[in-house]
A = this chain, B = another copy of it.
Amino acid sequence: MARKTGSHAETTGPRVRAAALRLFAQSGYAAVSMRQIAAEVGMQAGALYTYTADKQTLLFDLMREHMADVLEAWAAQPQGGSPGERLEQFTRFHINHHLDRPEGVFLSYMELRNLTPKNFAEIEALRRSYESELEAILIAGQENGAFSVPDTRLATMALIAMLTGITQWYRDDGRLSRERVQKIYWNMVRRAVKG
């Protein structure tokens, strides 16, 4: 397969996004220059603009991919079961999925204020859509008496904050295994909403 020298369109795009994700998560969007991203990939700054319209679009694309990813992964989970079973499934899924993507999680929570209003609205809609998945479980459990939650919206925010917070301290080589963390958190979640 003949190919022009230096032509790597199929791999360079993802490498640019991976480098940007790593650097944005590490130092923050505003603190990272296009030159730094280019250096990380091994190219010159000007060439980045073959793969993104501008820096803002690069950030937006990373956040949109992250949010679409979590929605898609949750949709691919087995359906059905009681509210209690669904809540345990969500808890374990959320922990596992987020621990696998610490940089995407960090970026999507920390850089919202660096999005243009239009881009912000789109990311927010995706986030609310994910929160609604948990809230639907809480509503179902509340209706059939499995849970007792005075306010499902508040409980949703409380549980998501609690679970996502794990990414701030968990390390795979740390004191506790993922299974142990999942079990302990599921125990707290279960009791927090118990009917």
B168 contacts A154, C-beta separation under 8 Å: no
A192 contacts B188, C-beta separation under 8 Å: yes
Residue A165 lies at the interface, judged by CB distance under 8 Å to chain B: yes
Q: In angstroms, how far is the closest chain B Cβ from the Cβ of A164?
A: 7
A49, B31: Cα distance in complex, Å: 22
Q: In angstroms, how far is the closest chain B Cβ from the Cβ of A89?
A: 19
CB-CB under 8 A from A27, the residues of chain B are: 30, 113-114
Name the interface residues of A161-195: CB closer than 8 Å to any CB of B. 161-162, 164-166, 168-169, 176, 181, 184-185, 187-189, 191-194
Q: Which residue of B lies closest to A25 (CB)?
A: B113
Name the interface residues of A82-133: CB closer than 8 Å to any CB of B. 110, 113-114
Residue A150 lies at the interface, judged by CB distance under 8 Å to chain B: yes
CB-CB under 8 A from A166, the residues of chain B are: 157-158, 161
Q: Which listed residue, B31, B113, B158, B184, touches A165 by the CB 8 Å rule?
A: B158
Residue A44 lies at the interface, judged by CB distance under 8 Å to chain B: no
A184, B154: Cα distance in complex, Å: 8
A169, B153: Cα distance in complex, Å: 11
Residue A155 lies at the interface, judged by CB distance under 8 Å to chain B: yes
Residue A26 lies at the interface, judged by CB distance under 8 Å to chain B: yes
Residue A151 lies at the interface, judged by CB distance under 8 Å to chain B: yes
CB-CB under 8 A from A158, the residues of chain B are: 162, 165-166, 185, 188
CB-CB under 8 A from A113, the residues of chain B are: 26-28
Q: A residues touching B (Cβ–Cβ < 8 Å)?
A: 26-31, 110, 113-114, 150-151, 154-155, 157-162, 164-166, 168-169, 176, 181, 184-185, 187-189, 191-194
The 3 nearest A-B residue pairs measured at CB: A161-B165, A30-B30, A30-B31
Other A-B pairs, 4, CB within 8 Å; known A27-B114, A161-B164: A27-B113, A30-B31, A160-B165, A161-B168
